Amino acid sequence: MKFCKYCGAQLEDNAVCNCEKSRAARAQQANAQAQAQYQQPVQPQQSQYQSPVQQQYAQPQNPQAQQSPYAVNNTAPVGENAFVKALKNIPVVFTSFFKDSKTVIKTAKAEKDIVLGALFSAIFFIALILGNMFLMLSMSALDFPKTLLVSLISTVLIGGFYSVILFAYVKKYNPTENTGKAFVDAFITFSIESIPASIIWLLAGLTAFISVYCFVFFLVFEMLYLVISLVNQIKANVPEAKNSTLFTLLLTLIVAVAFTIIFYIGARLTMWSFNTSSFATSALTSLIGGGSYSSWY
């Protein structure tokens, strides 16, 4: 025999008292057991999902800094001059171009980094100046004002043709594209694609000290690179259905002829810039234009 500890009623050995206090005690005990049962699984779930959230917000506030090929621009102090930021990006973009040129160009266009594009166009212009100066020095015919003028005209012709043709094809196959944005994107594309062209032209000028034939070799190599680069950039903006073999051949032919004309104009300007008549001058004239040339001044 036993007695209820709440009301004192006599109970059988296995009986449970149904008084109010006994029922309340049993309900409280059941709640406590339920809490103890479900509390343990909840804690691991909190720790399981809390860590990724903390890791997410522990990352740098600017996620583009990790994705961009030139993170210097993204991590620059707020308010820093755009020119200074682009200037800092030059070596990073230069090295990244040879690793993944498509991503570099895509990122530059996405960030509308026209300042960076202008800087690489300026570098291309400087490369033409230096290459032409080396050529003139190899022939003892340096006239710096004329060399500067020839380099400027060549840069405008090459860069302008590249940008305008790429812009025209983008607008043709994507007429909804904003006109201003399409042209800026074309200019940025040329500017970054001019990185190898700058190197090739410097090599052309340096090898002119060895032989005029070495210079002509790099001259042809330069033209081939620009043709292939422009054709690839155009094809990247043309729908897959239009990218037939015939289209590629016709496009390559058109671009090659256009660049040949541009380089011929540059060659004639180079002949005009010579201020002496030497054996090397005659050799280069015969290679490019044939025969003698008349002075333009």
Amino acid (1-letter code) at residue 43: Q
Is residue 201 within 8 Å of residue 131, measured between CB atoms?
Answer: yes
> What count of residues does the chain have?
297
Is residue 130 within 8 Å of residue 154, measured between CB atoms?
Answer: no
pTM over 0.75: no
CA–CA gap between residue 11 and residue 28 (Å, rounded): 21
Using left for φ > 0, alpha for ψ between -120 and 50, and beta otherwise, residue 8 falls in left
**For the chain, which residues make up each domain, given as ranges?**
2-58, 112-288
Q: What is the pLDDT of residue 82?
A: 77
Q: Which of 294, 271, 283, 261 is nearest to 150 (CA)?
A: 271
CA–CA gap between residue 126 and residue 132 (Å, rounded): 10
CA–CA gap between residue 166 and residue 237 (Å, rounded): 9
pLDDT per residue over 182-199, tens digit each? 999 999 999 999 999 999
Using left for φ > 0, alpha for ψ between -120 and 50, and beta otherwise, residue 16 falls in beta
Predicted confidence pLDDT, tens digits, the chain (297 residues): 566 777 766 666 677 777 777 777 777 777 777 666 655 554 444 444 344 433 432 344 444 444 455 544 444 454 457 788 888 888 988 888 998 888 889 888 888 889 989 999 999 999 999 999 998 888 877 888 888 999 999 999 999 999 999 999 999 988 888 999 999 999 999 999 999 999 999 999 999 899 888 988 999 999 999 999 999 999 998 888 888 899 999 999 999 999 999 999 988 888 887 755 454 455 555 555 544 444 443
Determine which helix (DSSP H) or strand (DSSP E) holds 50, and give its type and residue range.
helix 20-58
Amino acid (1-letter code) at residue 201: W
CA–CA gap between residue 68 and residue 106 (Å, rounded): 10
Q: What is the pLDDT of residue 120?
A: 94
What rounded mean pLDDT belongs to the chain?
78
